[in-house]
Protein backbone atom coordinates (compact mmCIF):
# COMPACT_ATOMS: atom_id res chain seq x y z
CA UNK A 1 0.00 0.00 0.00
CA UNK A 2 1.31 3.46 -0.93
CA UNK A 3 1.87 6.05 1.85
CA UNK A 4 -1.07 8.36 1.07
CA UNK A 5 -3.43 5.38 0.64
CA UNK A 6 -2.30 3.94 3.97
CA UNK A 7 -2.72 7.33 5.67
CA UNK A 8 -6.29 7.55 4.30
CA UNK A 9 -7.21 4.10 5.64
CA UNK A 10 -5.65 4.72 9.07
CA UNK A 11 -7.31 8.13 9.46
CA UNK A 12 -10.71 6.80 8.42
CA UNK A 13 -10.48 3.89 10.86
CA UNK A 14 -10.25 6.45 13.69
CA UNK A 15 -13.83 7.51 12.88
CA UNK A 16 -15.18 4.18 14.15
CA UNK A 17 -17.95 4.57 16.74
CA UNK A 18 -17.07 2.81 20.04
CA UNK A 19 -18.74 -0.62 20.03
CA UNK A 20 -20.19 -0.20 23.53
CA UNK A 21 -22.23 2.82 22.33
CA UNK A 22 -23.53 0.84 19.33
CA UNK A 23 -24.41 -2.09 21.61
CA UNK A 24 -26.32 0.16 24.04
CA UNK A 25 -29.09 1.06 21.57
CA UNK A 26 -31.42 -1.10 19.44
CA UNK A 27 -30.93 0.76 16.13
CA UNK A 28 -27.81 0.68 13.97
CA UNK A 29 -26.25 4.14 13.70
CA UNK A 30 -25.28 3.71 10.03
CA UNK A 31 -28.32 3.82 7.71
CA UNK A 32 -28.71 7.12 5.86
CA UNK A 33 -32.35 8.22 5.54
CA UNK A 34 -33.29 8.51 1.84
CA UNK A 35 -35.30 11.64 2.71
CA UNK A 36 -32.02 13.38 3.58
CA UNK A 37 -30.75 12.83 0.04
CA UNK A 38 -34.00 13.32 -1.89
CA UNK A 39 -33.31 15.02 -5.20
CA UNK A 40 -34.76 18.48 -5.57
CA UNK A 41 -34.26 20.18 -8.95
CA UNK A 42 -32.25 23.39 -8.39
CA UNK A 43 -34.28 26.61 -8.07
CA UNK A 44 -34.80 28.45 -11.39
CA UNK A 45 -32.01 30.90 -12.05
CA UNK A 46 -29.43 29.13 -9.92
CA UNK A 47 -26.57 28.15 -12.21
CA UNK A 48 -24.82 24.78 -12.32
CA UNK A 49 -22.67 23.86 -9.36
CA UNK A 50 -18.97 23.37 -10.23
CA UNK A 51 -19.52 19.58 -10.14
CA UNK A 52 -22.41 19.71 -12.62
CA UNK A 53 -20.43 22.13 -14.83
CA UNK A 54 -17.39 19.80 -14.93
CA UNK A 55 -19.60 16.83 -15.77
CA UNK A 56 -21.58 18.72 -18.41
CA UNK A 57 -18.51 20.01 -20.23
CA UNK A 58 -17.25 16.42 -20.71
CA UNK A 59 -20.62 14.90 -21.65
CA UNK A 60 -21.21 14.24 -25.36
CA UNK A 61 -24.66 14.87 -26.86
CA UNK A 62 -27.06 12.15 -25.65
CA UNK A 63 -24.28 10.62 -23.57
CA UNK A 64 -24.44 8.11 -20.73
CA UNK A 65 -23.81 9.09 -17.10
CA UNK A 66 -22.93 6.64 -14.33
CA UNK A 67 -23.68 7.78 -10.76
CA UNK A 68 -21.82 5.76 -8.09
CA UNK A 69 -23.29 6.04 -4.58
CA UNK A 70 -26.21 7.71 -6.32
CA UNK A 71 -28.46 8.25 -3.29
CA UNK A 72 -31.43 10.23 -4.58
CA UNK A 73 -29.52 11.30 -7.70
CA UNK A 74 -28.14 14.72 -6.69
CA UNK A 75 -24.94 14.22 -8.70
CA UNK A 76 -26.46 12.94 -11.93
CA UNK A 77 -30.05 14.16 -12.28
CA UNK A 78 -29.12 17.82 -12.92
CA UNK A 79 -27.73 16.37 -16.21
CA UNK A 80 -30.98 14.51 -17.01
CA UNK A 81 -31.97 16.71 -19.93
CA UNK A 82 -28.55 16.33 -21.57
CA UNK A 83 -28.13 12.58 -21.50
CA UNK A 84 -29.72 9.49 -23.01
CA UNK A 85 -29.32 7.24 -19.96
CA UNK A 86 -28.34 7.44 -16.31
CA UNK A 87 -26.91 4.34 -14.59
CA UNK A 88 -27.12 4.41 -10.79
CA UNK A 89 -25.14 2.25 -8.36
CA UNK A 90 -25.93 2.19 -4.65
CA UNK A 91 -25.65 -0.39 -1.90
CA UNK A 92 -29.00 0.76 -0.51
CA UNK A 93 -32.17 -0.53 -2.13
CA UNK A 94 -34.19 2.31 -0.54
CA UNK A 95 -31.88 4.91 -2.08
CA UNK A 96 -32.17 3.27 -5.51
CA UNK A 97 -35.97 3.35 -5.23
CA UNK A 98 -35.81 7.07 -4.46
CA UNK A 99 -33.37 7.54 -7.34
CA UNK A 100 -35.65 5.69 -9.79
CA UNK A 101 -38.64 7.86 -8.80
CA UNK A 102 -36.63 11.07 -9.21
CA UNK A 103 -35.21 9.92 -12.57
CA UNK A 104 -38.75 9.15 -13.81
CA UNK A 105 -39.85 12.61 -12.69
CA UNK A 106 -36.87 14.12 -14.54
CA UNK A 107 -37.90 12.19 -17.67
CA UNK A 108 -34.59 10.40 -18.21
CA UNK A 109 -34.14 6.68 -18.96
CA UNK A 110 -32.35 4.99 -16.06
CA UNK A 111 -31.01 1.66 -14.82
CA UNK A 112 -30.17 0.70 -11.23
CA UNK A 113 -27.48 -1.62 -9.90
CA UNK A 114 -27.64 -2.55 -6.23
CA UNK A 115 -24.37 -3.38 -4.51
CA UNK A 116 -21.12 -2.04 -3.14
CA UNK A 117 -18.67 -0.32 -5.46
CA UNK A 118 -16.16 -1.58 -6.59
CA UNK A 119 -17.50 -5.12 -5.94
CA UNK A 120 -20.43 -4.62 -8.36
CA UNK A 121 -18.39 -2.73 -10.95
CA UNK A 122 -18.05 -5.75 -13.25
CA UNK A 123 -21.83 -5.82 -13.79
CA UNK A 124 -22.00 -2.13 -14.65
CA UNK A 125 -21.44 -0.80 -18.19
CA UNK A 126 -18.89 1.89 -19.01
CA UNK A 127 -20.26 5.45 -19.30
CA UNK A 128 -19.13 8.73 -20.86
CA UNK A 129 -19.03 10.54 -17.52
CA UNK A 130 -18.88 8.96 -14.05
CA UNK A 131 -20.12 11.08 -11.15
CA UNK A 132 -19.75 10.26 -7.46
CA UNK A 133 -21.10 12.69 -4.87
CA UNK A 134 -20.31 12.53 -1.15
CA UNK A 135 -19.19 8.93 -0.95
CA UNK A 136 -15.38 8.98 -0.53
CA UNK A 137 -15.32 9.31 3.28
CA UNK A 138 -17.25 6.06 3.34
CA UNK A 139 -14.58 4.27 1.32
CA UNK A 140 -11.61 2.29 2.54
CA UNK A 141 -9.52 1.20 0.75
CA UNK A 142 -9.82 4.13 -1.63
CA UNK A 143 -7.52 2.93 -4.44
CA UNK A 144 -9.65 0.07 -5.89
CA UNK A 145 -12.77 2.26 -5.57
CA UNK A 146 -11.17 5.12 -7.55
CA UNK A 147 -9.56 2.72 -10.03
CA UNK A 148 -12.98 1.25 -10.86
CA UNK A 149 -14.46 4.75 -11.29
CA UNK A 150 -11.62 5.56 -13.70
CA UNK A 151 -12.03 2.31 -15.64
CA UNK A 152 -15.76 3.09 -16.12
CA UNK A 153 -15.34 6.54 -17.72
CA UNK A 154 -14.78 7.20 -21.40
CA UNK A 155 -14.31 10.97 -20.83
CA UNK A 156 -14.20 12.07 -17.20
CA UNK A 157 -14.79 11.20 -13.54
CA UNK A 158 -16.30 13.97 -11.40
CA UNK A 159 -16.25 13.51 -7.63
CA UNK A 160 -17.77 15.90 -5.09
CA UNK A 161 -16.58 15.76 -1.49
CA UNK A 162 -16.61 17.88 1.62
CA UNK A 163 -13.30 19.42 2.74
CA UNK A 164 -13.70 17.61 6.07
CA UNK A 165 -15.35 14.33 6.99
CA UNK A 166 -19.12 14.88 6.52
CA UNK A 167 -19.79 13.81 10.11
CA UNK A 168 -17.63 16.72 11.34
CA UNK A 169 -20.81 18.71 11.95
CA UNK A 170 -21.71 16.18 14.64
CA UNK A 171 -18.37 16.52 16.47
CA UNK A 172 -19.64 19.08 18.95
CA UNK A 173 -22.65 16.80 19.59
CA UNK A 174 -20.39 13.78 20.20
CA UNK A 175 -18.53 15.92 22.72
CA UNK A 176 -21.78 17.15 24.29
CA UNK A 177 -23.48 13.75 24.64
CA UNK A 178 -20.55 11.34 25.00
CA UNK A 179 -17.39 13.40 25.69
CA UNK A 180 -15.79 11.95 22.52
CA UNK A 181 -13.57 13.85 20.09
CA UNK A 182 -13.25 12.59 16.53
CA UNK A 183 -10.12 13.45 14.55
CA UNK A 184 -9.77 16.21 11.95
CA UNK A 185 -8.45 13.82 9.28
CA UNK A 186 -8.81 12.50 6.67
CA UNK A 187 -9.52 15.68 4.69
CA UNK A 188 -10.04 16.55 1.04
CA UNK A 189 -6.27 17.01 0.68
CA UNK A 190 -5.66 13.49 2.02
CA UNK A 191 -8.07 12.08 -0.57
CA UNK A 192 -6.51 14.07 -3.41
CA UNK A 193 -3.07 12.83 -2.32
CA UNK A 194 -4.27 9.23 -2.75
CA UNK A 195 -5.64 9.94 -6.24
CA UNK A 196 -2.40 11.68 -7.27
CA UNK A 197 -0.35 8.83 -5.82
CA UNK A 198 -2.33 6.56 -8.20
CA UNK A 199 -0.98 8.66 -11.08
CA UNK A 200 -4.33 10.30 -11.89
CA UNK A 201 -4.14 13.86 -13.27
CA UNK A 202 -6.57 15.25 -10.72
CA UNK A 203 -7.91 18.80 -10.76
CA UNK A 204 -9.63 20.38 -7.77
CA UNK A 205 -12.03 23.31 -7.35
CA UNK A 206 -13.15 24.31 -3.86
CA UNK A 207 -16.48 26.06 -3.37
CA UNK A 208 -19.15 26.76 -0.79
CA UNK A 209 -22.64 25.33 -1.17
CA UNK A 210 -25.61 27.42 0.01
CA UNK A 211 -27.28 26.49 3.33
CA UNK A 212 -29.77 23.66 2.93
CA UNK A 213 -33.28 24.91 2.18
CA UNK A 214 -34.88 23.46 5.25
CA UNK A 215 -38.05 21.86 6.01
CA UNK A 216 -35.85 18.86 6.76
CA UNK A 217 -34.53 19.78 10.24
CA UNK A 218 -36.60 16.90 11.66
CA UNK A 219 -34.98 14.45 9.23
CA UNK A 220 -31.52 15.74 10.14
CA UNK A 221 -32.26 15.55 13.87
CA UNK A 222 -33.50 11.96 13.51
CA UNK A 223 -30.37 11.05 11.54
CA UNK A 224 -28.05 12.77 14.05
CA UNK A 225 -29.78 11.23 17.08
CA UNK A 226 -29.43 7.75 15.61
CA UNK A 227 -25.81 8.27 14.48
CA UNK A 228 -25.02 9.50 18.02
CA UNK A 229 -26.37 6.20 19.41
CA UNK A 230 -29.09 7.95 21.40
CA UNK A 231 -32.61 6.57 21.97
CA UNK A 232 -35.62 8.12 20.17
CA UNK A 233 -36.78 9.99 23.28
CA UNK A 234 -33.68 12.23 23.08
CA UNK A 235 -34.39 13.47 19.56
CA UNK A 236 -35.82 16.84 20.71
CA UNK A 237 -32.60 17.48 22.65
CA UNK A 238 -30.57 16.88 19.50
CA UNK A 239 -32.85 19.04 17.37
CA UNK A 240 -32.53 21.91 19.85
CA UNK A 241 -28.75 21.87 19.34
CA UNK A 242 -29.00 22.29 15.53
CA UNK A 243 -29.18 25.77 14.02
CA UNK A 244 -32.37 25.74 11.89
CA UNK A 245 -30.90 28.36 9.52
CA UNK A 246 -27.77 26.33 8.83
CA UNK A 247 -27.91 22.91 10.51
CA UNK A 248 -24.86 21.35 8.82
CA UNK A 249 -22.48 24.26 8.05
CA UNK A 250 -19.29 22.21 7.61
CA UNK A 251 -20.81 20.03 4.90
CA UNK A 252 -21.24 23.20 2.81
CA UNK A 253 -17.45 23.47 2.38
CA UNK A 254 -17.04 21.25 -0.64
CA UNK A 255 -14.76 20.52 -3.56
CA UNK A 256 -15.18 19.18 -7.06
CA UNK A 257 -12.42 16.81 -8.14
CA UNK A 258 -12.15 15.59 -11.71
CA UNK A 259 -9.85 13.55 -13.91
CA UNK A 260 -9.87 11.66 -17.19
CA UNK A 261 -9.45 8.03 -18.24
CA UNK A 262 -6.03 6.40 -18.03
CA UNK A 263 -3.99 6.56 -21.22
CA UNK A 264 -3.78 3.12 -22.87
CA UNK A 265 -0.34 1.69 -22.08
C1 LIG B 1 -23.99 10.65 1.46
S2 LIG B 1 -24.94 9.77 0.29
C3 LIG B 1 -24.77 10.78 -1.16
C4 LIG B 1 -25.81 10.53 -2.19
C5 LIG B 1 -25.73 11.37 -3.46
N6 LIG B 1 -24.58 10.98 -4.27
C7 LIG B 1 -25.67 12.84 -3.13
O8 LIG B 1 -24.64 13.48 -3.45
O9 LIG B 1 -26.65 13.35 -2.56
C10 LIG B 1 -23.86 8.40 -0.04
C11 LIG B 1 -24.55 7.28 -0.82
O12 LIG B 1 -23.56 6.36 -1.26
C13 LIG B 1 -23.97 5.04 -0.98
N14 LIG B 1 -22.72 4.27 -0.81
C15 LIG B 1 -21.74 4.51 0.09
N16 LIG B 1 -20.69 3.68 -0.12
C17 LIG B 1 -21.01 2.93 -1.22
C18 LIG B 1 -20.33 1.91 -1.95
N19 LIG B 1 -19.09 1.50 -1.63
N20 LIG B 1 -20.97 1.36 -3.01
C21 LIG B 1 -22.22 1.76 -3.35
N22 LIG B 1 -22.90 2.72 -2.70
C23 LIG B 1 -22.31 3.31 -1.65
C24 LIG B 1 -24.87 5.14 0.24
O25 LIG B 1 -25.80 4.08 0.31
C26 LIG B 1 -25.55 6.49 -0.03
O27 LIG B 1 -26.73 6.34 -0.79
Q: Are 161 and 255 in contact (CB under 8 A)?
A: yes
Its pTM stands at 0.95
The span from the CA of 106 to the CA of 84, in Å, is 12
Write out 156-180 in H/E/C secondary structure. Answer: EEEEEEECECHHHHHHHHHHHHHCC
Distance CA 55, CA 110 (A): 17
Given this model, what pLDDT does residue 33 score?
87
pLDDT of residue 2: 86
Angle between helix axes 142-151 and 188-197 (nearest 10 degrees) is: 60
Q: What is the pLDDT of residues 162-199, one digit of tens each?
A: 999 999 999 999 999 999 999 999 999 999 999 999 99
Strands 253-259 and 203-208, sheet pairing: antiparallel
pLDDT tens, position by position, 7-35: 999 999 999 999 999 999 999 999 888 88
pLDDT more than 90, % of the chain: 85
Read off the pLDDT of residues 98-126 as tens digits, 9 standing for 90 and up: 999 999 999 999 999 999 999 999 999 99
CA of 16 to the centre of ligand 1 (A): 18
The Cα 106–Cα 94 span in angstroms is 19
Cβ–ligand 1 distance for 80 under 6 Å, the answer: no
Q: Is 99 in the pocket of ligand 1 (CB under 6 A)?
A: no
Query: How far apart, in whole angstroms, are the C-alpha atoms of residue 17 and residue 21?
Result: 7
What is the pLDDT, as a whole number, of residue 215? Answer: 60
| Cα(165) to centroid(ligand 1), Å | 14
**69 pocket-lining for ligand 1 (C-beta < 6 Å):** yes
Residues across the chain: 265
Q: Look at residues 151, 162, 180 and name the one whose alpha carbon lies nearest to residue 262.
A: 151
**Distance (Å) from CA 92 to ligand 1 centroid:** 8
Residue 263 CB-density burial (10 A; 0-12 exposed, 13-18 middle, 19+ buried): exposed
Amino acid sequence: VQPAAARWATALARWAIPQELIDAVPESPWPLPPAMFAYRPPPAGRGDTPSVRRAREALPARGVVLDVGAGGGAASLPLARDCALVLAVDESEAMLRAFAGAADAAGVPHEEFQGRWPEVAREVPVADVVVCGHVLYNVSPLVPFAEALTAHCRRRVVVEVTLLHPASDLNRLWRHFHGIDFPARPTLDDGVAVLREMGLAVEVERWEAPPRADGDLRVLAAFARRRLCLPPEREAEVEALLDPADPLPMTRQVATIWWGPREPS
